[in-house]
Amino acid sequence: MEIDPFVFRLSIFILSIFVGYYVVWSVTPSLHTPLMSVTNAISSVIIVGAIIAALAGKGNVIFNQASIFGYLAIILAAVNIFGGFLVTQRMLAMYKKKKK
């Protein structure tokens, strides 16, 4: 009997929750705002689904019912990716140590 690939994905998912749990507890509280903005940015990796959806049009049809939603999702996710990483960068650049 072969194991259903779903079980592998579920394993990855469960283990990642644990990884996330320990990694996030080690985040210093002063960086909790950047943590939120960067998690925002990385969860927009959903853009890969949007790209697949957008490019799935058959033949010369660029915009069909399904791909339009893909294109819209690309815009939304792109706002988030660029916005999220850049605003995180901007915040992190402000954290400075005391001048000795």
By CB under 8 A, what part of segment 38-57 binds other proteins?
Answer: 38-57
**Is residue 83 near other proteins by the rule CB under 8 A?**
yes
Query: How far apart are CB 64 and other proteins at their closest, in Å?
Result: 8
Give dist(CA 55, CA 65) in Å, integer. Answer: 12
**Is residue 6 near other proteins by the rule CB under 8 A?**
yes
Phi then psi for residue 63, to 5 deg, are -110, 105
- Residue identified by tokens 């995180």 is 88
Element containing residue 26 per DSSP (H, E):
none
For other proteins, the closer of residues 1 and 59 by Cβ is: 59
For other proteins, the closer of residues 3 and 98 by Cβ is: 98
Nearest to 25 by CA among 34, 15, 35: 35
Number of residues this chain uses to bind other proteins (CB under 8 A): 83
**Is residue 1 near other proteins by the rule CB under 8 A?**
no
Give dist(CA 53, CA 75) in Å, integer. Answer: 13
Span 12-31, contacts to other proteins by CB under 8 A? 12-14, 16-17, 19-21, 23-31
Could you tell me how many residues make up the chain?
Answer: 100
